[in-house]
Amino acid sequence: MNELTLHATELQTFLHAQTMQKEIERQNEFLESLKKNKQIGIINLTFFISPFISSLTEHLDSFVTVLVNAGCQTIFFKSGDQTEAQLFHRTIDDEDNFFIEIKSSFTCCFSESCALLPNAQIVHIAQGRTSLHVSDFNGSNRREIKLPEEAWGVVHINDNVVAVTFFERKMVAFIEMGKGNIIKKFKVKDHCHGIKFFKDKFLLYLIGSEYVYLYTKNGRLLNKIKVPIDICVRVALNDNRFFCIDSMKNIHCCDFYGSFIWTYKNYRHHSLAEIIADEHGVIYAACSYGDYIASVSRKGNYSKDLLSYDWCETWGCTSGHIGYRNVEIDICNSTKELLVCRVDPKGSSISVYDIKYKVQTLV
């Protein structure tokens, strides 16, 4: 009799397990179809488990975590009679899914280049180019780091280190933010104004030049790339491609050999003057006044206005500059923040924007 009861229990367990497996496979096929069609937002799944099976997991809070390339997403299951699974996911091709929201803004002295650090600090090259100013997002707790000569570009490497370009000496220097010491440096092939960094590579460029230079983090030259446009205004860098703006203010995506991948034609009258790319290859572009910011999809087939003022929309970018103007933008992928530094004859203003994503629920 005991043996019969044991077999019956095992059979019941097996049948419940088979039922659960079929249900999970069905839900998995559903999720895979949504992922394939790129229509997934937040998915709430509800299903019931037999009290017998539930009792086996009554002490479990979670048993699976899934990481998706498009961001920080987690699937979690709660034990009990009714189990809920939530999958947080966003499709990076959906440019309508995100927007920017002002976080802080302050004015400062004349500035040329700036960088956004993951530890909620801003670094910018101050007037005269012989010092770095470091501050909080609201401009407070400002301190100065003296530089040995004029610097032209600055980019953050991590929380505590930035890299700057010294134009005359054809050099890139790593500066530790705590004491302001140069901890590492390497020579480059040509004079360079700007510098961009992504993961483990540098892209250096001279505004108006026909070449850009790709370096490793350790200073080894990977490639001298001939830009396939007449005049290169600004560049941005991503995993295996770079982006540049031409004199007509169009955006070109190229591989590391200088071949076109795609071109985004800027039919708007805004004069695009600066670009940056996020970790997914989405482009953020700003006009000369910094009052117009747009995103361009990673395939170059879609754009969206993220920031636009009426005066800039109607005549600002086409009226011509009165005095010197410049704009610099930077992005911090880990904190989802965008930095915009606007320079005009009266001085500079530095603003930080949160990059936010709209939440959608599919039941």
Could you report the per-residue pLDDT of 231-257, keeping only the tens digit for each?
Answer: 777 899 988 899 998 876 789 999 999
Phi/psi of residue 234, nearest 5 degrees: -145, 160
Provide the β-strand partners of residue 155.
Answer: 163
Residue 159 is predicted with a pLDDT of 87
Say whether pLDDT at 175 is over 70: yes
Amino acid at 237: L
> What does the alpha-carbon distance between residue 316 and residue 82 come to, in Å, rounded to a whole number?
58
- Residue 123 predicted with pLDDT over 90: yes
Please give the pLDDT value at position 264.
Answer: 92
Check: CB of residue 360 under 8 Å from CB of residue 41: yes
Q: Which residues, 6 or more positions from 181, have their beta carbon under 8 angstroms from its beta carbon?
A: 175
Query: Which residues contact residue 62 at a Cβ distance below 8 angstroms, ignoring those fewer than 6 apart?
Result: 76, 77, 78
Residues contacting residue 277 through CB under 8 Å, at least 6 positions apart: 198, 236, 237, 238, 243, 283, 284, 331
Distance from C-alpha of 271 to C-alpha of 334, rounded to nearest angstrom: 29
Residue 31 CA neighbour count, 13 Å, CB half: 18
pLDDT at 326: 78
Spatial strand order of the sheet with 143-146 comes to 114-117, 121-125, 131-135, 143-146
Integer Cα distance of 245 and 269 in angstroms? 15
Q: Please indicate whether residue 331 or residue 14 has the higher confidence score (pLDDT).
A: 331
| pLDDT, mean over the chain | 77
Mean pLDDT of 110-135: 88
Percent of the chain with pLDDT over 70: 69
Residue 18 reports pLDDT greater than 90: no
**pLDDT digit string (tens) for 317-341?**
555 555 556 788 999 988 999 999 8
DSSP 3-state percent helix, strand, coil across the chain (nearest 5): 15, 45, 40
Give the right CATH number for 95-362 from 1.20.1250.20, 3.40.640.10, 2.120.10.30, 3.40.50.150.
2.120.10.30
Q: Taking Cα atoms as reference points, which of 320, 315, 312 lies closest to residue 292?
A: 312
Of the candidate ranges 22-36, 221-235, 250-264, 275-289, the one whose mean pLDDT is the lowest:
22-36
Give the start-to-end residue ranges of the domains of the chain: 2-88, 95-362
* pLDDT band for position 54 (cuts 50, 70, 90): low
Q: Is pLDDT of 164 > 70? A: yes
Q: What does the DSSP 8-state code read for residue 313?
A: I
Average pLDDT over residues 272-279: 89
Residue 318 or 156, more confident: 156
Q: CA-to-CA distance for 4 and 34, rounded, in angstroms?
A: 45
Cβ atoms of 124 and 154 within 8 Å: the answer is yes
Mean pLDDT of 277-286: 90
Q: Which of 13, 74, 24 is nearest to 47 (CA)?
A: 24
Task: Let me know: does 334 contact 72? Beta carbons within 8 Å.
Answer: no
Q: pLDDT band at residue 46, thresholds of 50, 70 and 90?
A: low
Question: 359 pLDDT exceeds 70?
Answer: no
The stretch 18-27 carries a mean pLDDT of 72
- Give the CA radius of gyration of the chain: 26
* Torsion sign across C-alpha atoms 170, 349, 155, 185: positive
Strand partners, 42: 88, 361
Q: Residue 52: which of 108, 14, 96 has the closest Cα?
A: 14
Q: Which long-range contacts (CB under 8 A, 24 or more apart) does 257-263 make?
A: 257/223, 257/225, 258/225, 258/226, 258/227, 258/228, 259/228, 260/228, 261/300, 262/299, 262/300, 262/301, 263/300
Position with higher pLDDT, 77 vs 265: 265
Between 55 and 157, the more confident residue is: 157
**In terms of pTM, does the model score above 0.75?**
no
**Rounded distance between C-alpha atoms, residue 248 and residue 266, angstroms:** 8
Please tell me the predicted confidence (pLDDT) of residue 284: 94
Displacement of CA 89 from its chain's centroid (Å): 17
**Mean pLDDT throughout 137-141?**
90
Residue type, 322: I
The predicted-structure confidence for 72-114, as pLDDT tens digits, reads as follows: 444 444 444 444 444 444 444 455 678 899 999 988 877 778 9
